[in-house]
Structure 1
Amino acid sequence: MIAEIIFTGTELLLGQILNTNAQYMQQELSAMGIDLYYQVTVGDNLQRCAAAIRQASKRADLIIICGGLGPTEDDISREALAEALQLQLVQDPFALTVVTRFFKERGVPVSNNNYKQALVPQGGIAVDNPVGTAPGIILEKEGKIYILVPGPPPEFAKMVREKIIPYLLGKMTERSGLIMSRVLKFCGIGEASMDEKLSDLLKSCNPTVAPTAKFAEVHLRITAKAKGPEQAQKMIDDMEAKVRERLGSYIYGTDTETLPSVVISLISQKKMTLSVIEDFTGGQLAYQLSSAKGSDGVFKSGLVVTDLKAVELLKRCNWGSLPADLKQRAEYLATAVREKFESDIGVAVTILKDRGQGQAQTSHKFVMAADVNGVTMSREMLLWGDRDDAAQRATTVTLMLIWRYLEHGIKF
C-alpha cells in the first residue's frame, strides 16, 4: 500500500507551529509496512487543498489529510475532499453526536458554527473523537482510502492510535495477510554508522527494516507481512538474528523497554544497588532511574547539586576537599556517594563550568564517573547544544555507559 499525507494549515507554511504530527504519522505508517512516497503541506485554501487531494489520488492508495476539521471558515478539509471527489456534504448522525457530546458534557451551549463539524462527504464514515469536537472521516472511493484526522496533537494522536491504525491494519490484513513488527533499541551507535553496517538488510522488502533516530538512541523497526502469526514471527526472528550478529553489542532492548528500565533490571539481577550525584543534569538521571519499574530497593539515593561547594557542607560524610581536576573530581564524587549511601554502584555527573556563557553556551565538557564496588572509571565528553539539550544527552549517555559495563563488561 502506498500512502500520501496532506497537512493543512497556513500556520504550518509560515513556520508558526512545529508539525509534530508529521513525525508521528510517518513512524506509524512505517511500522505497518505502508510506503510513504510524498508528504504535502498546503495552506487554508479550498481549491489548493482539493487540488492536492486530486494529485495524491493519482499516485497513492491511501490519502491522509491532517487538520482543517475545526468549526471556523478556514477549516476546509472536509469541503476540499468533497470538492475533489465531487461529493455532497451531508450531516452525519454519529458525527453530530460527537460534536454535541463535547458541549453537553461541559454544560455549555453548542455554537452554531460547530454544526459544520457534523458534515461528512456522502458515503463517508464519521470517526469518534473523545477529546475534541472534530470527528474524523474515513471514505473509500474507487479503490482509494481517504482519511481525515483533526490537527491538534492530542486529538490527532489518540484518533490515529485508537481508530485509524486498527482500521488500516484490518484493511491490510484483507489485502496481504497479517502484519507484525518488533522494535530493536540501540545506544552507543549513530544512525549513519548503523546504516553502513546494515545497508543490505535495510533494502529488504519483507520483512522491512527501518531505522529511526531518537534522542541519543536509534530504533530499528522490523515489520513482516505474512498469512499467519507463526510465519510473521519467524521472519522477524530471522531478521533480528542477522541484525544482532552484526550489532548485538549495541542493542539494549526491544519494543516497550527503556534504557533506564534495562539498567535497573540489570542491577537487580546482579543483586546490587545504585546511588547517584548530579551536577549539571538537574536530577534527570535520578528521575529516570527512580521511575523505572523495579527501582524500589535498587536505586537507593540521588543527590542534585547546582554548586559542588555545597557538597563540602556535608561534613559528616568526611569527604574532604574536592579535586580541581574534572575527571578526578567526578571519580571522587562517585566513590563518595557510593560510600555515603552504602551502595554497590556510585555514579557522578558533572561538567566544567561555562565561564559565564550560561544557557547560550554551545558546548559543554561533561564527565561521567562510576565506582562499582571499588572499581572506578570515568568518561570525558564534549556535548554540543544549549544546556537543556546537553543535559538530556548527558543523562542518556550516562545510562548507556552503565548499561554497556553491566551487560558487556565494557569499561569507559
Structure 2
Amino acid sequence: MICEIIFTGTELLLGQIVNTNAQLIQQELSALGVNLYYQVTVGDNLQRCAAAIKQAAGRADLIIVGGGLGPTEDDISREALAGALRLDLVQDDQALKVVRRYFDRRGIPVTSNNLKQALVPAGGWAVDNPIGTAPGIILEQAGKTYILVPGPPIEFNMMIRDQIIPYLRGKLADEVGIIKSRVLKFCGIGESLLDDKLSDLLKSANPTVAPTAKFSEVHLRITAKARQASLAEEMIDNMESEIRERLGSYIFGVDDETLPGAVTRILLEQGKTVAVAENFTGGQLAYKLSFADGAEYTFIAGLIARDYRRLQEKACLMSGDIPQKAEARAGRIASLVGKQFGADIGMAVAVEPGEKADAAVQEYNLYIAADCNGRLMLKKVLWSGEREAITRRAAAVALVFLWRYLKHGIPF
C-alpha cells in the first residue's frame, strides 16, 4: 500500500512551528509496512489544499491529512476533502457528540463556529477525539482511503496511536508486510569514505541501507520489509553483520545510543573519571559528559570561561602560568584540570582565530587536548563558519577523539 501525507498550515510553511507530527506518523506507518512515498505541506488555502488531495489520490492508496480541523475560517481540511471529491458536507451525529462533550464537561456553551467541526463529507464517519473539539474523519471512496486528523500534537498523537493505526491494522492486515529499521552510528569516519567502503551494500533493495551525516557522526539506517517481524529482524541482523565485518571499529552505538553515552559506558568499564575545561565551547563538552547515564561515577567537574585567563584567576588552576598560545594552552589546561580534580583524564578545548577571522566567514583553529594519566595528546582542527555551530561541532569531535582512544587506543 502506498500512502501520502498532507500537512496543512501556513505556519508550517513560514517556519513558525516545527512539524513534530511528521516523525510520529512516519514511524507508525513504517511499522505497519505502509510505503510512504510523498509528504506535502500546504498553506491554509482551500483551493491549494483540495488540489493537494487530488494529486495525492492520483499516486497513493491512503491519503492522510494532518491539521485544518479547527473551528476557524482558516481550518479548511474538511472543506478541501469534500471539494476534491465533489461531496456535500453533512452534519454527523458522532462528530456533534464529540464537539458537545468537550463544552459540556466544562460547563460552557458551544459556540457557533465550533459547530462546523461536526460536519463530515458525505459517506465519511467521525473519529473520536477524547481531549479536543475536533473529531477526525475517515472516508473510503473508489478504492482510496482518506483520513483527516487534528493538528495539535497531543490530539494528533493520541488519535493516530489509539484509533487510526488500529483501524489501518485491521483493514490492511492481509495486504501489508512489516517494516523494521535499525540505525548503526559511526564516528571517526566521513560519509564519503563510508559510502566507498559500503558501496555495494548501499545498492541493496531489501534490506535497504542509507547513510545520513550528523555533525561528527554518520548514521546508517538498515530497513527491511517482510511478512513477519522475525524475518525482517533476521534480514537486518545479516546486513549488520556484513557492515560490522567491514567497518565495525567505527560503530559506537545502535538506535537510541549516543556518543556521550558510549564514552561514559567505556569510562565505567575501565573505572576512569574525567574533568574538562573549556574556553570556547561554552560548556557543551561538560554538558554532554555530565548528562549521560552513569555520569555520576565518571564525570568529576567542568570549568567554563570565555577568557582562558579566568580559568587561572577564578578557577584555582594556579599551578604555574597558562600559556597564551592556544596550542600550548590546551595541553596545559588539560593537565591542570585533571590534576585539580583528581580525574584520570583531563580534557580542554582552546581556540585561536584563523586567517579569515575578520572576513564574512570566520575561521578558527581548534585545539582539543587530553591528559590521560600523564599521557598528553593534542589535536588541531581548522574550521570555518558560524561560531555557534563550530562550538557544537568542537564538543562533538572532542568526544569522538576520546571514544577512539578509550575504545581502540588511537591517540589524538
**What is the distance in 1 between the residues matched to 2:15 and 2:272?**
49
Local SS of the residue matching 2:296: coil
Partner of 2:406: 406
- Residues 299 and 220 (structure 1 numbering): CA distance in 2 closer, same or farther, change over 3 Å? same
Partner of 1:320: 320
Q: Tell me the amino acid that sits aligned with residue 341 of structure 1.
A: F
CA apart distance, 1:351: 1.6
Write the deviation string for residues 106-126 of structure 1: whole angstroms up to 9, x where unpaired. Answer: 776654323333433342442
- Maintained 8 Å contact 1:3/1:60: yes
Partner of 1:230: 230
Q: Tell me the amino acid that sits aligned with residue 266 of structure 1.
A: I
Partner of 1:208: 208
Partner of 2:116: 116
Partner of 1:395: 395
Q: Which deviates more from structure 2 when the two are superposed, residues 80-89 or residues 56-65?
A: 80-89
CA apart distance, 1:196: 3.6
Normalised by the size of structure 2, how large is the TM-score?
0.85
Q: Tell me the amino acid that sits aligned with residue 78 of structure 2.
A: R
Partner of 1:385: 385
**What is the distance in 1 between the residues matched to 2:285 and 2:105?**
41
- Residues 115 and 210 (structure 1 numbering): CA distance in 2 closer, same or farther, change over 3 Å? farther
* Structure 2 gaps, min length 5: none
**What is the distance in 1 between the residues matched to 2:191 and 2:356?**
34
- Residues 332 and 19 (structure 1 numbering): CA distance in 2 closer, same or farther, change over 3 Å? same
Write the deviation string for residues 107-152 of structure 1: whole angstroms up to 9, x where unpaired. Answer: 766543233334333424426474x654444444333333334445
**What is the distance in 2 between the residues matched to 1:145 and 1:191?**
39
Q: Tell me the amino acid that sits aligned with residue 124 of structure 2.
A: G
Partner of 1:282: 282
Write the deviation string for residues 221-278 of structure 1: whole angstroms up to 9, x where unpaired. Answer: 2222223333222111001112222322222101111111111111001111111111
Partner of 2:45: 45
- Residues 30 and 176 (structure 1 numbering): CA distance in 2 closer, same or farther, change over 3 Å? closer
* Structure 1 gaps, min length 5: none
Q: Tell me the amino acid that sits aligned with residue 276 of structure 2.
A: V
**What is the distance in 2 between the residues matched to 1:359 and 1:284?**
26
Give the alignment of 1:257-272 within 5 angstroms.
257-272=257-272
- Maintained 8 Å contact 1:326/1:367: yes
Greater C-alpha Rg: 2
**What is the distance in 1 between the residues matched to 2:379 and 2:202?**
33
Give the alignment of 1:306-345 within 5 angstroms.
306-314=306-314, 317-345=317-345
Normalised by the size of structure 1, how large is the TM-score?
0.85
Partner of 1:187: 187
**What is the distance in 2 between the residues matched to 1:139 and 1:233?**
34
Write the deviation string for residues 131-183 of structure 1: whole angstroms up to 9, x where unpaired. Answer: x6544444443333333344456665666567656665666654233332211
Local SS of the residue matching 1:69: coil
Write the deviation string for residues 22-47 of structure 1: whole angstroms up to 9, x where unpaired. Answer: 97379637954654443434333323
- Maintained 8 Å contact 1:344/1:372: yes
**What is the distance in 1 between the residues matched to 2:18 and 2:74?**
18
- Equivalenced residues, count: 410
Write the deviation string for residues 314-369 of structure 1: whole angstroms up to 9, x where unpaired. Answer: 58543211112212211111111111111111111122158997998633322211
CA apart distance, 1:279: 1.3
**What is the distance in 2 between the residues matched to 1:110 and 1:409?**
69
Partner of 1:24: 23
Q: Which deviates more from structure 2 when the two are superposed, residues 327-336 or residues 77-86?
A: 77-86
Local SS of the residue matching 1:318: coil
- Maintained 8 Å contact 1:176/1:225: no
**What is the distance in 2 between the residues matched to 1:189 and 1:105?**
58
**What is the distance in 2 between the residues matched to 1:165 and 1:359?**
53
- Residues 185 and 307 (structure 1 numbering): CA distance in 2 closer, same or farther, change over 3 Å? same
- Maintained 8 Å contact 2:129/2:155: no
- Residues 39 and 256 (structure 1 numbering): CA distance in 2 closer, same or farther, change over 3 Å? closer
